[in-house]
């Protein structure tokens, strides 16, 4: 940077990559929209309007983003310790299942019930992360495989835990009973200021945890140790850090964050648990974390972006007839773009060299 | 005994897609590329076959089914190239790429189903018809278990398994593929094109997994709905439980196929309720975790699986 | 004499560095030609060019009088050039035969002709006196045998020009002896050999001529029989090299570390260290000599707490530490310069300052109440950087990855010395470094000794052991073969002990 141009804004490298990934995802999706005979510009116009055009829609975008912030945080946190938590979906489901079970069975005032449910969700999620952590630390079982297995174990435990018990909605085939008002994160004042949206207390929880996790990663001894293990497990071991304990701890914390995500989703957004499928937010969390450069604040913004896509896609469909899967397609290709990050790096380098020449 | 006889054809029908998919995973992983995108590749195959059959069955009749299977395999190969490009050419993180494959497949297929058919579901009118293998089906017990009421695809898949076994262990191509998964630098020094070999390994996983997804459509399901309900991941579990060996995965897919079938039918057949359903359903996953622990010291996983190969630096 | 290979005026540049600058090398038919140079001098690059892994930016290669372009290893093979790599390229769960035929499998119908291949390998093996079992699995045979498989691989491909890349680094003295014999029998069958090495003794023993390169340039080619080791060393380094580290008499004090009947298990459940005992006093350097893979690694890991002690006593200043964990041992006064600086010694993606507090980040003043104190860390790191001459572009905040090998090692040595340990364990402290860094680190280790600390030096380089240590303990197959006082012994004696032959036996 020898010449300082007043017009040039310096965008941090990580953000450049993220923006390129988004552009890549939207470009590919645009091509697919064209293939199906639609206009991508109007599709995207309505997609973003659908996510942002009114207070209510912004509220819904934030409510959708809430869960993604937490699953993204979960994946990002594990990443920093060198662990790939592909099990956020199972941890989220199990944590949400625990919270829902508590919410449907305990008869307590809201101010007590919600913290109890939150604790239950975190502990449930933490337990679901703890097991793969333990297997990794003690038996060197790869956490990717272990968390995939844990996802399906959670799927069936939640399925039968609801299907065959009092938790089931007597009138619905595939879901739990609705949570009562006392057990819901939805509150009147948030609904009122956002025109009856789904926005709930979960967002506040999510933001608090973004801050907490950012501090842990960047400022504390624990963060230093976790990152050291992530970068170089052998060096961390050599330096006398308890690497195995840290792996277990990291997976448990990641699980707790995903469990929280389940709490905000099942007790904040939908108010019931749908059984027989893994929550897609758990997998989207991987894209959130990667797009956010595995930093908490990055995950926050990436989740907000995805929240817009999720909220706007229905509106886009009704206005243009473009299938709502466009939103998921963009996310999928952003994820693929994140895998192909090296390609973007090369393109960036190429352009930089071209400019300097 | 009678009950086992009764559920046998169902269990086999459930096992076969798993088997062929896990076999695909085997080729990818033994060439050195982790493929957790099997689920997505199955979805692609089920979509491609359902769409093809739906469009052709009016004019072609039952032959459309075989065209559908072929188209599925080709679509699977094409789609798996995304994974190969990221994993091999770009040395990307193979887990991320595989996850992306799953995400894209799920969205893309429904997107196109809606665009082409107008609905996220594609139903086919007529699937494969079960038949009794002549002569062999007359053998007592065994004939009834294996040769009565069987799908032609079952025999195709078993044939593929046999060929795969032979190729893997008795031909230069198999030796070379395995060397790329164990020690790509050794393969490279021997003049083997590691990148190409891995592309082929991933491509085979695409073809086989898609075939697995398509077999679901033409045998027991009959309808595409954007998901294969985790069978791809179950195939991955089978691959690990079978320790990356063809006969190992034959055993593990049968084992898991039976457990799942028992869970499914225990609602209908009261005698089967010896084990709680939740136990039967989670059994494959718990068994795989236990196997991973037990084999943690002696795992037969390809040594270099998941590691991008880059030619020697100075 | 007829030249079978000529590399003429080869130039190869990598971003920021000229690896080969106008290098010319001629290999005569039937000779052993040594290629001598320090780490990073450009030997490997040159050989990679010959083997087709890199393309030269300028210059040409002439094989048997014909100019050729070698685009890949397969082309090199077709020209009769084969290479025994320093890290063997063998598939661990394949048989010897499978490894050798890989890439050019003989066929029997549509299947590989394993039997025929094995027969041919057996014959080749006998012809050159290699004694290799074609049906053995690689993981079941010794390192020396594996090297022979690599040689067979080349012979199977009818290679006439054999490149050996640092072939003796992993061998026992007997295996080295055997290898020299094999090389001679290869010559007898008309092969020509290029030997890449930095060991002068081997050159003296087996090579006919020697080309020395330094910083990418050829310094000269000499007839080995007309020159001395000292002369070659001087060519390699560019100045006169004193083989001896300047140091005075040692002044041993009380016992700092005592190891008694130590037993340690290896990764595969074998007894890697067997009933091992020694004493280390303050103010002395004790060397542990041995060929790679004879239990040194496990011994060090057991001493530092990285590996479980099966039985026995490790007492540090009179206190048994065998049951303590890594951190507790560190706090008891044990510091460790690890064998592999990039794998263990540093977190490469951490900055220098973050690396400097690797073991002490939990202590005040570097952290308080679980929060890191970044100012304190910066000050401490900058002091160490200055004191130990760690050079980097950005000082404290430079990533460890960005440092040269010598500076990385200086950072580790500085960090460990600054902990003021009772006992300093230095494992291969100068591996892969240039001569300047080696001398610096040796000086620092002697300083530690003179300051009254106890230093345990574990090295595979016998010269380093003999130069630095006051006493030497020799290890073979996990057993202590004997103990000698450096001033009363010589290379021959220690070499024999490394081979497992007890002193005076």
Instruction: Supply the mean pLDDT for chain B.
Output: 90
- Residues in chain C, pLDDT under 70: 1, 173, 241-244, 503-505
Contact C336 A238 (CB under 8 A): yes
- With a cut of 70, say whether residue A54 has pLDDT above it: yes
Separate counts of helices (H) and strands (E) for chain A: 15, 0
pLDDT recorded at residue C243: 58
Residues in chain B closer than 8 A to A323 (CB atoms):
110-111, 114-115
Token pair of A276 as six digits: 């027989």
The Cα-based distances of C453 to B178, C258, C286, C335, C470 in angstroms read 52, 14, 11, 11, 13
List chains adjacent to chain C, taking adjacency as at least 3 C-beta pairs closer than 8 Å.
Answer: A, B
Confidence of residue A6 (pLDDT cuts 50, 70, 90): very low
Q: Does B301 touch chain C (CB under 8 A)?
A: no
pLDDT recorded at residue A5: 40
Burial A238-270 (b: 16+ CB within 10 A, else e): bbbbbbbebbbbbbbbbbbbbbbbbbbbbbbbb
* Nearest chain B Cα distance for residue A110, angstroms: 33
pLDDT recorded at residue A9: 53
Q: Taking an 8 Å Cβ-Cβ cutoff, which residues of chain C contact chain B?
A: 14, 19, 44-45, 48, 53-54, 72-74, 77, 83, 85, 87, 89-94, 98-99, 102-105, 107, 110-112, 153
Q: Confirm if C196 and C47 have CB atoms less than 8 A apart.
A: yes
Find which of C79, C89, C95, C106 to mutate to test the B interface (most B CBs within 10 Å of its CB). Answer: C89
pLDDT recorded at residue A1: 34
pLDDT recorded at residue B272: 65
Nearest to B110 among A155, A325, A331 (CB): A325
pLDDT recorded at residue A355: 55
Rounded to an integer, what distance in angstroms lies between the CA atom of residue B279 and that of residue C464?
A: 63
pLDDT recorded at residue C244: 67
- With a cut of 70, say whether residue A252 has pLDDT above it: yes
Beta bridge partners of C262: C276
A78 burial level (CB within 10 Å; 0-12, 13-18, 19+): buried
Residue ranges of the alpha helices (H) in chain B? 2-30, 38-60, 63-84, 94-116, 142, 152-170, 172-182, 184-189, 194-216, 231-241, 246-265, 277-294
In C94-159, where do the E strands start and end? 107-108, 111-112
pLDDT recorded at residue B314: 33
- With a cut of 70, say whether residue B279 has pLDDT above it: yes
* Nearest chain C Cα distance for residue B56, angstroms: 38
The Cα-based distances of C20 to C49, C216, C220 in angstroms read 10, 4, 14
Residue indicated by tokens 């840290």: A246
C-beta neighbour count of A105 within 10 angstroms? 11
Helix (H/G/I), strand (E/B), else coil: C359: coil
- With a cut of 50, say whether residue A7 has pLDDT above it: no
Contact B104 A86 (CB under 8 A): no
Burial C424-458 (b: 16+ CB within 10 A, else e): bbbbbbbbbbbbebbbbbbebbbebbeeebbbbbb
What is the mean pLDDT of the segment spanning A225-235? 94
Residues in chain C closer than 8 A to B165 (CB atoms):
none
Q: Does A228 touch chain C (CB under 8 A)?
A: yes
User: In degrees, to the nearest 5, what angle opens at C-alpha A330 toward C-alphas A325 and A333?
Assistant: 120
- With a cut of 70, say whether residue A336 has pLDDT above it: yes
pLDDT in tens, B231-263: 999 999 999 989 999 999 999 999 899 888 888
Token pair of C381 as six digits: 């790191």
Scanning every residue of chain A, which has its alpha carbon at the shortest distance from the alpha carbon of B229? A277
What is the mean pLDDT of the segment spanning A141-160? 94
Phi, psi torsion values for A322, nearest 5 degrees:
-70, 130
Global pTM? 0.90
The Cα-based distances of A107 to A110, A167, A185, B84, C170 in angstroms read 9, 14, 16, 54, 71
Q: Confirm if C425 and C431 have CB atoms less than 8 A apart.
A: no
Q: Does B312 touch chain C (CB under 8 A)?
A: yes
Confidence of residue A154 (pLDDT cuts 50, 70, 90): very high
**Radius of gyration for chain B, computed over Cα atoms and rounded to the nearest angstrom:** 20
Rounded to an integer, what distance in angstroms lies between the CA atom of residue B236 and that of residue B245?
A: 13
Token pair of B283 as six digits: 């059994």
Answer positive or negative: Cα dihedral of B87, B90, B92, B98: negative
Rounded to an integer, what distance in angstroms lies between the CA atom of residue A157 and that of residue C118?
A: 55
In C2-53, where do the E strands start and end? 3-14, 17-28, 32-36
Contact C372 A224 (CB under 8 A): yes
pLDDT recorded at residue A11: 67
Is the peptide bond between C365 and the residue preceding it cis, with omega within 30 degrees of 0? yes
Q: Does A217 touch chain C (CB under 8 A)?
A: no
pLDDT in tens, A164-214: 888 888 888 788 989 998 999 999 999 888 888 999 999 999 999 999 999
pLDDT in tens, B30-76: 999 999 999 999 999 999 999 999 999 889 888 999 999 999 999 99
pLDDT recorded at residue A2: 37
Contact B115 A149 (CB under 8 A): no
A55 burial level (CB within 10 Å; 0-12, 13-18, 19+): middle
Contact C372 A221 (CB under 8 A): yes
Q: Does B292 touch chain A (CB under 8 A)?
A: yes
Scanning every residue of chain A, which has its alpha carbon at the shortest distance from the alpha carbon of B110? A325
* Nearest chain B Cα distance for residue C267, angstroms: 10
């Amino acid at each position: 940077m020898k010449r300082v141009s007043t017009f040039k804004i310096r965008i941090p490298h990580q953000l450049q990559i993220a923006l390129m990934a988004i552009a890549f995802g939207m470009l590919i999706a645009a091509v697919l929209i064209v293939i199906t005979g639609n206009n991508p510009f109007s599709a995207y116009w309505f997609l973003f309007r659908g996510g942002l055009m009114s207070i209510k829609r912004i509220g819904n975008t934030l409510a959708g983003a809430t869960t993604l912030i937490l699953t993204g945080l979960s994946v990002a946190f594990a990443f920093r310790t060198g662990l790939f938590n592909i099990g956020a979906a199972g941890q989220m489901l199990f944590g949400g299942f625990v919270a829902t079970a508590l919410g449907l069975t305990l008869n307590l005032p809201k101010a007590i019930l919600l913290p109890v449910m939150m604790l239950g969700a975190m502990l449930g999620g933490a337990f679901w992360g703890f097991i793969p952590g333990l297997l990794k630390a003690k038996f060197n079982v790869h956490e990717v495989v272990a968390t995939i297995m844990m996802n399906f174990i959670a799927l069936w435990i939640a399925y039968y835990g609801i299907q065959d018990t009092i938790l089931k909605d007597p009138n619905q085939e595939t879901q739990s009973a609705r949570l009562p008002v006392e057990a819901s994160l939805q509150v009147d004042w948030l609904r009122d200021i956002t025109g009856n949206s789904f926005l709930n207390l979960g967002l506040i929880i999510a933001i608090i945890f973004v801050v907490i996790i950012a501090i842990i990663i960047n400022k504390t001894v624990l963060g230093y140790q976790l990152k050291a293990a992530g970068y170089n497990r052998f060096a961390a071991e050599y330096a006398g850090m308890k690497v195995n304990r840290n792996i277990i701890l990291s997976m448990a914390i990641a699980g707790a964050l995903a469990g929280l995500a389940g709490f905000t989703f099942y007790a904040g957004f939908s108010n019931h648990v749908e059984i027989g499928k893994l929550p897609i937010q758990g997998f989207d969390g991987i894209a959130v974390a990667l797009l956010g450069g595995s930093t908490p604040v990055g995950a926050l913004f990436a989740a907000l972006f995805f929240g817009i896509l999720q909220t706007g896609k229905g509106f886009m469909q009704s206005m243009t007839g473009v299938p709502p899967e466009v939103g998921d397609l963009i996310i999928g290709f952003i994820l693929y773009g994140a895998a192909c990050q090296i390609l973007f790096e090369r393109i960036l380098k190429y352009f930089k060299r071209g400019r300097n020449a | 005994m009678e009950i086992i006889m009764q559920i046998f054809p169902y269990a086999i029908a459930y096992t076969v897609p798993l088997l062929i998919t896990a076999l695909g995973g085997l080729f990818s992983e033994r060439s050195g590329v982790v493929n957790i995108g099997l689920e997505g590749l199955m979805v692609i195959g089920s979509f491609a076959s359902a769409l093809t059959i739906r469009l052709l069955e009016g004019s072609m009749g039952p032959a459309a089914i075989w065209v559908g299977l072929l188209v599925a395999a080709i679509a699977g190969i094409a789609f798996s190239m995304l994974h190969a490009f990221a994993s091999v050419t770009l040395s990307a993180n193979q887990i991320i790429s595989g996850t992306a494959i799953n995400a894209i497949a799920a969205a893309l297929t429904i997107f196109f189903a809606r665009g082409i058919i107008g609905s996220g579901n594609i139903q086919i009118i007529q699937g494969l018809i079960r038949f009794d293998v002549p002569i062999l089906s007359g053998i007592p017990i065994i004939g009834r278990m294996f040769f009565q009421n069987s799908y032609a695809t079952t025999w195709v898949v078993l044939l593929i398994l046999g060929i795969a076994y032979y190729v893997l262990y008795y031909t230069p191509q198999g030796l070379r593929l395995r060397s790329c998964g164990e020690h790509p630098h050794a393969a490279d020094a021997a003049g083997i094109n590691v990148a190409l070999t891995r592309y082929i390994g991933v491509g085979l996983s695409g073809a086989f997994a898609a075939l697995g997804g398509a077999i679901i459509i033409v045998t027991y399901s009959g309808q595409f709905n954007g998901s294969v309900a985790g069978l791809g991941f179950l195939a991955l579990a089978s691959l690990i439980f079978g320790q990356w060996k063809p006969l190992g995965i034959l055993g593990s897919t049968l084992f898991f196929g039976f457990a799942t079938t028992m869970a499914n039918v225990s609602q209908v057949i009261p005698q089967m309720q010896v084990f709680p359903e939740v136990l039967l359903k989670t059994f494959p996953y718990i068994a795989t975790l236990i196997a991973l622990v037990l084999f943690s010291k002696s795992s037969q996983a390809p040594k270099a699986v998941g590691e991008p190969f880059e030619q020697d630096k100075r | 004499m007829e030249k079978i290979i000529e590399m003429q005026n080869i130039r190869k540049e990598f971003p920021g560095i000229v690896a080969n600058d106008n290098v010319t090398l001629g290999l005569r038919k039937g000779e052993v030609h040594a290629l001598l140079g320090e780490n990073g001098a450009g030997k490997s690059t040159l050989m990679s060019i010959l083997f087709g892994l890199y393309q030269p930016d300028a210059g040409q290669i002439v094989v048997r009088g014909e100019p050729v372009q070698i685009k890949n290893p397969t082309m090199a093979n077709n020209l009769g050039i084969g290479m025994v790599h320093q890290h063997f390229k063998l598939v661990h769960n394949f048989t010897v035969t499978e490894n050798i035929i890989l890439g050019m499998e003989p066929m029997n119908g549509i299947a590989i002709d394993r039997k025929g291949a094995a027969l041919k390998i057996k014959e080749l093996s006998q012809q050159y006196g290699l004694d290799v079992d074609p049906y053995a699995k690689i993981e079941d045979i010794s390192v020396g045998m594996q090297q022979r498989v690599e040689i067979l691989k080349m012979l199977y491909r009818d290679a006439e020009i054999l490149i050996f890349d640092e072939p003796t680094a992993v061998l026992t003295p007997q295996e080295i002896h055997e290898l020299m014999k094999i090389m001679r029998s290869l010559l007898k069958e008309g092969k020509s050999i290029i030997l890449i090495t930095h060991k002068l003794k081997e050159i003296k023993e087996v090579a006919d001529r020697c080309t020395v390169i330094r910083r990418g340039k050829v310094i000269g080619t000499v007839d080995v029989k007309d020159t001395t080791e000292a002369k070659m060393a001087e060519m390699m380094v560019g100045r006169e090299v004193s083989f001896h580290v300047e140091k005075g008499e040692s002044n041993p004090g009380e016992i700092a570390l005592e190891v008694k009947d130590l037993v340690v298990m290896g990764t595969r459940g074998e007894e890697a260290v067997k009933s091992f005992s020694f004493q280390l006093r303050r103010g002395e350097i004790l060397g542990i000599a041995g060929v790679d893979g004879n239990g040194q690694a496990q011994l060090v890991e057991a001493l530092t707490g990285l590996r479980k002690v099966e039985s026995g006593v490790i007492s540090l200043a009179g206190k048994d530490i065998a049951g303590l964990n890594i951190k507790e041992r560190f706090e008891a006064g044990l510091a460790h310069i690890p064998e592999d600086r990039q794998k263990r010694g540093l977190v490469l993606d951490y900055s220098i300052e973050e690396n400097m507090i690797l073991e002490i980040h939990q202590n005040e003043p570097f952290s308080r109440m679980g929060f890191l104190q970044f100012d304190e860390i910066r000050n401490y790191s900058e002091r160490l950087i200055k004191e130990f001459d760690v050079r980097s572009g950005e000082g404290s905040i430079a990533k460890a990855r960005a440092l040269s090998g010598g500076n990385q090692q200086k950072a580790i040595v500085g960090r460990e010395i600054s902990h003021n340990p009772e006992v300093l364990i230095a494992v291969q402290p100068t591996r892969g470094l240039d001569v300047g860094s080696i001398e610096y680190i040796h000086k620092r280790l002697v300083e530690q000794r003179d300051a009254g600390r106890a230093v345990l030096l574990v090295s595979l380089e016998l010269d380093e052991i003999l130069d630095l240590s006051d006493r030497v303990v020799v290890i073979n197959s996990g057993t202590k073969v004997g103990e000698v006082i450096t001033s009363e012994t010589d290379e021959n004696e220690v070499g024999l002990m490394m081979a497992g032959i007890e002193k005076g036996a």
